[in-house]
Every structure is written in structure tokens, then in C-alpha cells.
Amino acid sequence: MDLLDILTDKGLRREPPTREEALAVLATTDDQLLEVVAAAGRVRRQWFGRRVKLNYLVNLKSGLCPEDCSYCSQRLGSKAEILKYTWLKPDQAAEAAAAGVAGGAKRVCLVASGRGPTDRDIDRVADTIAAIKGADEHVEVCACLGLLSDNQAERLKAAGADAYNHNLNTSEATYGDITTTHTYADRVDTVAKAHGAGLSACSGLIAGMGESDEDLVDVVFALRELDPDSVPVNFLIPFEGTPLAEEWNLTPQRCLRILAMVRFVCPDIEVRIAGGREVHLRSMQPLGLHIANSIFLGDYLTSEGQAGQADLDMIKDAGFEVEGAAETTLPRHRARAAAGCGGHQEESACGTGGGCGTGCGPCGGHGEAPEAVEAASSTASTASEDEARTDLVRVRRRGAGTELAPNA
């Protein structure tokens, strides 16, 4: 049985690959790319059919952040010419959210820059959630406010939040090279707080920061241990004015291999193509839908995406359908577990129970690592300088915080 047959078989059984197999996915060649996409696509269709969940970002507070995350245009010391504004009023945020819902989004993600919310900030967000759900009680609301203090997750849950996002971003070993004002452990703690409060945990990564294949596999397996319901995969947008402005390390082919690796490690989880989709996947975005079952509609926090209608056309043309508000995103076994206890335990393919949590226990791998692992590069594949599409990095000038209509 070759590598892709093994990975497909495991994914259909909700069993993770070994680390060596995950590395081997990243080491596949461009000639093998369509086979990799097809294998990951089988797993995706097993658990999510041909549905695509649409999510919509509302940037409640832009810029002015005291943290020094090197990838972020809102960081301390950023010279990126992004929009800067303080908290939107609840009615302003609800109006922005309504545009996304009207465009087909079933989840609204409320994001605010900063280290973490104060108790007054939690009150603001609670009022915003009430305004959004007052207009549509069925819309899912995910908050992304930074590091949480004790009892803040519980207050968000009581206010009507359905989920909380806090990404790990990169491996624990390299985290200190990216951020110095907080730690990897701080991020893990916040995801645990969200879980503990009964919120659906959302946590993902950023690819393209100069990390190695091993770093990518490390962070995805760490995410698996945290057992989130959704994993957003961001591709670095190298903003001028940030420390990583010259990091153009991604090709469309590498992005697809990264998405496939994430799908194989977390087969029955919501995998979302997040920031950088248009910049790095470009004309190959439709292939990404064969792997991921979730995308953001329209614009991002500080950058512009493609037109919302173009997203909808792409989904239809690729043979997929927008997931309806009444449909449950997660497979039945995960949805039942989430409703019952806030965690997923042994039933989860991204859980921590038994040997499946590490991929090397009683139900882990199939003997020796595939020969393809020997070809795995210790550094990320890089795009040649003339392939860098800097023209696709566009600062957001519409929607929340402006007088212009949002893109949805």
C-alpha cells in the first residue's frame, strides 16, 4: 500500500498519520500534487460531503496592539499603512456582520487587536453579540480577543458566543522567534480556557514564515492534541512595514500540500482556508476546496480578499455548495460529543485519548516510514523572487471602520 492509500484509509477511519507520513505529504512532488489532492478530497468528502462553510470577519478594533507578533500588520512598531480605529459600537459591528450573513456566512468572527480583553471589553463584546443575535438568532458567533483571563470565557459563553479562536500559529520550538511579548504556553492556556467554558475551540496556524516542514508538522500535531473543532490555515501575507515583509516562501502547490497534511492529521475537523488564500493559492483556490471545507467570505482583518460574489461563484463552479444555516458543520460523532461534554475524548480524530493522540501508539502507523520521507526538506520550499505577487497584498479600505460598504 503506498503512502496516499495509507493516508486515505486512515482518514476514512478517523485515524491520524504518523509524523513521518505527515512529513512525507509535504515532500511529495508537483507531479504527485493532483494525487495528493484527490486522496485528501476523499477524506474531506467522507466527513463533510461537498459543503463549504462560509465565515465572515468583523474587525472590532484595528491596529494599536502592544504585542510584537512579527507576522501581524497590527503589531507594536508596524509601519504597515492599515486602518487604525478603536472599538466599533455594537450597532456598527452588527451592521457589518449582517452584510456577511446576507452573503451566505453562517459564522461571524468578532476580532479585536490587543494582548487580551479587559472586563469592560468583554461587556462591549457581549453587547455586540446581543445585537448580532438579535438580528439573526441562528448565526454562529466566534470571538477572537487575544489571551483570556479567568472567567472571561465563561462570560462570553453566557453572552451567547458559540466559539473562541486563538491560534498557535507555529511550533513551540520556533515560537520565540516570532513573538516575544507572550509565550506559546499562554496561547495553549487560552484554548484550554475556551474548551473549559464549553465554547467550541478554534485554533490554527500560519504557514510561510520561514518555518521548516518539521515545524509545520509539530504545530498541526499540537493542534490535534488541543482538540479544536476548527483549524484555520493561514498563509502569511507579507505586509510591507512588518518584520516578515520579505518572506515570500509559498507556492500554490506548497499551500495545497500543507492543506492536505492538515486534513490527513485532522480528518473529521473543520479545516478552514483563512488569510492569504488569494495571495498564495491564486488561480488554484478551487483545488483547495477539495481539501478544506470552510473559507472566509470577502475581506480579512486588514487586507482585502477577492469579491464575495467571486467566492460564491468559485464554490458553485467547483461543484460544491454553500453550507446552509440549518446544517450541522461537524460530522455527527463530533457534534454529539461537543454537545455532550464540550470535548471529544476518544471519538475524536483530533483528540488526546489513547495511542491515536500521537500517531505512534497501538493504533498509530504502519511500520517503517515511507521512502518519500528521505526527500523531506528541512526548510520550507521557496518561491523564486519573480513569482512573488506583491501586487495581491491590498490593505483593506472598506467595510468595518470605514464609510464604504463591506465586501461580502
Strands (E) across 105-185 are located at 107-112, 140-144, 163-165
| CB-CB contact of 15 with 362 (8 Å) | no
Beta bridge partners of 53: 294
266 included as an active-site residue: no
Give the separation between CA 117 and CA 119, rounded to whole angstroms: 6
356 included as an active-site residue: no
Tell me which of 19, 44, 51, 142 is the catalytic residue: 142
Cell 439573526, residue?
136
255 included as an active-site residue: no
Q: Does the CA dihedral 357-273-161-82 come out positive or negative?
A: positive
Beta bridge partners of 59: 111
202 included as an active-site residue: yes
| CB-CB contact of 202 with 230 (8 Å) | yes
Radius of gyration in angstroms for the set of CA atoms belonging to the chain, rounded to a whole number: 20
Burial class from Cβ neighbours inside 10 Å (0-12, 13-18, 19+) for residue 114 reads middle
Q: Which amino acid is at 268?
A: D
| CB-CB contact of 348 with 225 (8 Å) | no
At 136 the three-state DSSP class reads coil
Tell me which of 14, 19, 44, 72 is the catalytic residue: 72
Tell me which of 272, 277, 334, 396 is the catalytic residue: 272
263 included as an active-site residue: no
Tell me which of 19, 51, 124, 202 is the catalytic residue: 202
Tell me which of 19, 42, 51, 69 is the catalytic residue: 69
Q: How many residues comprise the chain?
A: 408
Tell me which of 109, 255, 350, 356 is the catalytic residue: 109
Tell me which of 14, 19, 44, 65 is the catalytic residue: 65
65 included as an active-site residue: yes
Catalytic positions, please?
A: 65, 69, 72, 109, 142, 202, 272
